[in-house]
Amino acid sequence: MSGILGKKIGMTRIFQDDGRVIPITVIQCEPNEITQVKTVEKDGYPAIVLGFLKLKKPSKTRKFRYLKEFRIKEEEIANYKKGDFISLESLKDIESVEISATSKGKGFQGVVKRYHFAGGPKTHGSHFNREPGSIGTRAKPGRVHKGKKLPGRMGMAKTTLKNIPVIKLDIENNIICLKGPTPGPTGTVISIKK
């Protein structure tokens, strides 16, 4: 199995018999339809393209809101056909997964929030509170070096987490519960791989 797309429902928790509390993220994974099978002869590499969340008014060129390509092994191509569905059944014996999603956007932020700069003293009339301070350039080189930590947009970036334990798998209701938080707000589309 290459992967599956799901929608983040939210977070909750599970109480163990010994009193421990495990935070979990609930993800709904409706069966994904295979929209394209890529082969080495035609495309140069083996992969499948999955469609998730059908549009209410599909067009000739677009039927799904989200499309995602997953690489597969060359010998697995025979197992996949266009129009087939991939469900959580393929994750039955998996203990941990890799997930990818877009993190929450936080807008334009300063260096204290973005990079955890300490800032300056808060008292005695100091005007150096939450500023970045010196950026370390003089007449030579006469410019700011690339990659300097300065204020800017934060979040809204692809985030990947590996080895996330699978706590519960409800195949009948198409729900998977993963341990801990996942990137993005409620409603985010999450890519789940083995």
- Give dist(CA 103, CA 118) in Å, integer: 24
For residue 21, what pLDDT band results from cuts at 50, 70 and 90?
very high
Q: 189 with 31: CB under 8 angstroms?
A: no
- What local confidence, expressed as pLDDT, does residue 1 receive? 59
Three-state SS sequence of 65-99: EEEEEEECCHHHHHHCCCCCEECHHHHCCCCEEEE
Q: 174 with 83: CB under 8 angstroms?
A: no
- Give dist(CA 181, CA 193) in Å, integer: 16
Q: What is the DSSP letter of 190?
A: E
Half-sphere exposure of residue 114, counting CA atoms within 13 Å on the CB side?
19
- What local confidence, expressed as pLDDT, does residue 136 receive? 86
Q: Is the dihedral of CA 47, 100, 90, 96 positive or negative?
A: positive
Q: Is the dihedral of CA 13, 14, 20, 23 positive or negative?
A: negative
pLDDT tens for each residue of 154-183: 999 999 999 999 999 999 999 999 999 999
Q: 29 with 171: CB under 8 angstroms?
A: no
- Give dist(CA 88, CA 171) in Å, integer: 6
Q: Are strands 47-54 and 64-71 parallel, antiparallel or unpaired?
A: antiparallel
pLDDT tens for each residue of 37-89: 999 999 999 999 999 999 999 888 899 999 999 999 989 899 999 999 999 99
Domains and CATH numbers, the chain: 3-103+157-193 (2.40.30), 107-132 (no CATH)
- What local confidence, expressed as pLDDT, does residue 17 receive? 92
pLDDT tens for each residue of 84-138: 999 999 888 899 999 999 999 999 999 999 999 999 999 999 999 999 999 988 8
Closest CA to 37 of 26, 52, 47, 25: 47
